[in-house]
Amino acid sequence: MDWSLVFGNAAAELISPTTAAYALAAIGLAVHFGYTGLLNFGQAAFMAIGAYGFAVSVLNFGLSFWQAIAVAMILSIVFALILGIPTLRLRSDYLAIVTIAAAEILRYIVSTTSLKDLTGGSGGLSGFSQEFYSINPFAEGNYLFWPFDVTEKELWVRVFGWSLVALATILVLLMMRSPWGRVVKSIREDEDAVRSLGKNVYAYKMQSLILGGALGTLAGIVFVLPRSVQPGNYVTGLTFFIWTIMLLGGAATIFGPIVGSMIFWVLLSLTEGVLQGLVNMGVITFLTTDQIGPVRFILIGLGLMALVVFRPQGIFGNKKELQFNV
């Protein structure tokens, strides 16, 4: 087994565009659940809106890169309003039901054959990143700094994605230390007490839903820049991956979602590489190469179960502030 290759591939996931996209989406989910107490099980829908809003704007309407991002953000706000207006005055479980259903409805809509000319149907969309790569500030060539060996395009995607993660982190940090942030954290603890003080709880919840959804939309754009848009990527499992990442790092923390995303994708790559090597060497005889993918998720799941039992607040979370009761 080539251990340097296994560890190199795992380490490369630390700053991959996928890791950045999931970190950005998890920061948005932390705004929803970690700070405000909103049960959003439809973060995949916000990512899909970002991906399709961006791609359709470029391919079908000929908008520029920045204009397409603006359109995706507007669609995200509209979607958050549609979800929030009928549910945010009710208990949090109603929002959970609506968001998970809305995510599935949206996925079926974009994959339907009747909208194939607009959304690409089940085949998805591609060829929308040319302008993004045309503004690449890096010269053509390979950039090698172990374990990262990337082309100028791959480097540009990483710099852009992680720059958005950094900006989102600073934004959330400043907002949660502001009076607005103190109010939403109070809503998480006891919204009736906040309401009794004359605060418009509904308005604060709506603002939080819009902010976290907007971050999820940006995550969707980052996610598709190096690949095509495929409706199959936005299944419910995507949302629960984001929940896993957020809870792994700490739900009510600033840097927890970022570190959680890094750990999650490094562990997935590392377990796959180790299992693949052991199977090829004949050390593990009860597994085939086709079974490695599901087994790695089982192993990661067992680790997360142990984390929830022994450290329910996550790696960086404050046990006094937020935890799961198990």
Tens of pLDDT along 35-52?
Answer: 999 999 999 999 999 999
Give the pLDDT confidence score for residue 285 in this predicted structure: 75
Structure confidence at residue 250 as a pLDDT band (50, 70, 90): confident
**Number of domains composing the chain:** 1
* Per-residue pLDDT at 325: 40
The pLDDT of residue 87 is above 60: yes
* Residue 126, in any domain of the structure: yes
Whether the Cβ atoms of residue 42 and residue 27 lie closer than 8 Å to each other: no
Which helix (H) or strand (E) segment holds residue 133: the answer is helix 130-134
Is it the case that residue 252 has pLDDT exceeding 90? no
Which residue has better confidence, 299 or 256?
256
Q: Is residue 322 over pLDDT 60?
A: no
The pLDDT mean for the chain works out to 89
HSE at residue 272, side-chain half, CA atoms within 13 A, is: 15
In terms of C-beta density within 10 A (0-12 exposed, 13-18 middle, 19 or more buried), how is residue 253 classed? buried
- Considering the entire predicted model, what is its pTM? 0.92
In a domain, 326, yes or no: no
**Contacts for 279 with CB less than 8 Å, ≥ 6 apart:** 287, 288, 289, 292
Query: Are the C-beta atoms of residues 51 and 221 closer than 8 Å to each other?
Result: yes
For residue 22, being part of any structural domain is answered with yes
Question: Is 51 inside a domain boundary?
Answer: yes
Cβ 14 vs Cβ 266: under 8 Å: yes
Please measure the distance between the N-terminal and C-terminal CA atoms of the chain and give it in whole angstroms.
40
Residue 37 structure tokens? 């107490």
- 240 domain-assigned: no
Segment among 151-165, 174-188, 262-276 with least mean pLDDT:
262-276
Q: Which of 73, 69, 74, 42 is nearest to 57 (CA)?
A: 69
Structural domain containing residue 109: 17-234
Q: Do 189 and 182 form a contact (C-beta atoms < 8 A)? A: no
Q: What is the pLDDT of residue 215?
A: 97
Residue 155 domain-assigned (yes or no): yes
Burial annotation 98-123 (CB, 10 A radius, 16+ → b, else e): bbbebbbebbeebbeeeeeeebbbee
pLDDT of residue 326: 36
- Asked, for residue 161, whether it belongs to a domain, the answer is yes
Residue 291 lies in a domain: no
| Whether residue 147 has a cis bond before it, omega within 30° of 0 | yes
